[in-house]
Amino acid sequence: MPQHETNRAAVILAAGIGRRFRSAVPKVIHDILGRPLLAWVVDACRQAGIDDIVVVVSPAIREQVTAVLPDVRIAVQDEPRGTADAVSVALPFLPETGLVIVASGDTPCLRSETIATVLEAAASTPLALLTCRVPDPQGYGRIVRADDGSVERIVEHADANDAERAIDEINAGLYAFDLTALRNWLPRIGSDNAQGEHYLVDTVSMCREGDAPPRAVLLENPDEIQGINDRVQLASAEEILRRRIVDHWRRQGVTVHGDDVMIGPDVTLESDVDIASGVELHGCTHVATGTTIGRGCVLTNARIGADVRLKPYVVAEDAEIGSGAQIGPFAHLRPGTRLGRDVRIGNFVETKNIEMGEGSKANHLSYLGDAEIGSGVNIGAGTITCNYDGANKHRTVIEDDVFVGSDTQFVAPVRIGRGATIGAGTTVTRDVSPGALAVRRAPQKEYPDYPRKRKSSS
């Protein structure tokens, strides 16, 4: 019986071309919930305690995989000679002894708990593998068991006879090997089969030649091993993962309405958050307790404080919103937006690269960019910070307790002193002193009895 060291590694097989995707993008880097398909498998291995990971790819996709997963090692399988050959090209990257997981790169629904269970099963045998019973085993390798119930061999679908094809227990494509045994077995694997390839499943028969037969771990939920060969299967896997994440947060005390909410894998939520239908939460968004998120909001890398109310259709990217704030509806918070406590941003307001102090508000139809806005400031409807001169960006500074009338333009760089008042319709081109009133508009003229033009009655 092998004595395993603490070394744990993983080989992820991702050399498939994915022709049925009909895409210039390799199958394994297509997106699922904001993360490449292959990254889901890599992360599952890491969550199972494996940091030494090698991904096997074809030469055609090496650069693209490296670009999206720069922190994993890449082994290249020059020609598609089968799964055993793919594992062989990864061997030089692996430790001499210990355990190695072999997984498929197109199974994003695989759980870290399942990987850990298969690793645990390999503690007493050179080979443990995952199996599953499915209603339609078409295309899968079948598990053939001996009279004592142990795994005798795995027969690929193309090589199976009618009796073997009637078996509903399939090879799930996840293995845990003792590395010493694996290094001995791989050179012995031939290609005498219907595909003319070197099958990794041949190691099952080799394992039976030793003292400890292979151990099978039976998986209850076949969703975990769903492979992806086209965009229909991609959409199916995305829905499985979306539902898994939503249900996780529901169990943590988050209310999620409807079946169309998308929560990314790196999003974090506190209890008593309430999320309406059609919401999308992307990236490393964090939402604190007591916050309500209205229908159709899209948040990306946003940090939302406690007891915030996001009305419908707020879009926020790389933005921070302080506790008690009210945002929307139809507001756009662009990168660099930092809003303090109890701030109010209303409908059709766009912000970018601004800081806004406690209790300030911009309730209607404004653009606020490259600005520092103090506390207790009122921004009237139609206010614009004119921050770009055609070559460079400039900042507007509005100190505490300033009142800005409607239809004001700040031609940056300008500073508005504490407690100043800006009259409606003013174009501000110079600094305004604290406590002053600044008004700049054309004088009003009146023409009595003006003969207004009217439409012809004909």
Which one from 157, 257, 364, 394 is the annotated catalytic residue?
364
Comparing CA positions, the residue from 348, 345, 354, 362 lying closest to residue 397 is: 354
Return the pLDDT at 71: 92
Confidence bin at 219 (pLDDT 50/70/90)? very high
Q: Is domain 231-438 classified as CATH 2.160.10.10?
A: yes
394 is catalytic: no
Question: Taking residues 280-304, what's their average pLDDT?
Answer: 99
Question: Taking residues 396-420, what's their average pLDDT?
Answer: 98
Return the pLDDT at 453: 86
Q: How far apart are CA 414 and CA 394, in angstroms?
A: 9
Question: Taking residues 415-428, what's their average pLDDT?
Answer: 98
Distances (CA, A) of 121 to 124, 173, 218, 270, 422: 7, 15, 11, 36, 73
C-alpha count within 13 angstroms, C-beta hemisphere, residue 372: 10
pLDDT surpassing 90 at residue 454: no
Q: How far apart are CA 245 and CA 223, in angstroms?
A: 14
Q: How far apart are CA 178 and CA 119, in angstroms?
A: 10
pLDDT, tens digit, 9 for 90 and up, residues 190-202? 988 878 889 999 9
pLDDT surpassing 90 at residue 452: no
pLDDT, tens digit, 9 for 90 and up, residues 16-51? 878 889 998 999 999 999 999 999 999 999 999 999
Distances (CA, A) of 359 to 75, 303, 433: 56, 18, 22
pLDDT surpassing 50 at residue 284: yes
**Mapped to the 3 state alphabet, what secondary structure does the chain carry?**
CCCCCCCEEEEEECCCCCHHHCCCCCHHHCEECCEEHHHHHHHHHHHCCCCEEEEEECHHHHHHHHHHCCCCEEEECCCCCCHHHHHHHHHHHCCCCCEEEEEECCCCCCCHHHHHHHHHHHHHCCEEEEEEECCCCCCCCEEEECCCCCEEEEECHHHCCHHHHCCCEEEEEEEEEEHHHHHHHHHHCCCCCCCCCCCHHHHHHHHHCCCCCCEEEEECCHHHHCCCCCHHHHHHHHHHHHHHHHHHHHHCCCEECCCCCEECCCCEECCCCEECCCCEEECCCEECCCCEECCCCEEECCEECCCCEECCCCEEECCEECCCCEECCCCEECCCCEECCCCEEEEEEEEEEEEECCCCEEEEEEEEEEEEECCCCEECCCCEEECECCCCECCEEECCCCEECCCCEEECCEEECCCCEECCCCEECCCECCCCEECCCCCCCCCCCCCCCCCCCC
Question: Taking residues 410-427, what's their average pLDDT?
Answer: 98
Comparing CA positions, the residue from 293, 327, 319, 287 lying closest to residue 306 is: 287
Return the pLDDT at 319: 99
Distances (CA, A) of 333 to 145, 187, 274, 289: 60, 59, 20, 21
Residues 6 or more apart whose Cβ sits within 8 Å of residue 263: 242, 245, 246, 249, 256, 269, 275, 281
Rounded to 5 degrees, what are φ and ψ at 404? -110, 120
The structure's pTM equals 0.91
pLDDT, tens digit, 9 for 90 and up, residues 351-407? 999 999 999 999 999 999 999 999 999 999 999 999 999 999 999 999 999 999 999
pLDDT, tens digit, 9 for 90 and up, residues 220-257? 999 999 989 999 999 999 999 999 999 999 999 999 99
Return the pLDDT at 248: 98
- Structural domain boundaries in the chain: 8-225, 231-438
Residue 248 token pair: 């996780």
CATH of 8-225, one of 3.40.50.2000, 3.40.718.10, 3.90.550.10, 3.20.20.70: 3.90.550.10
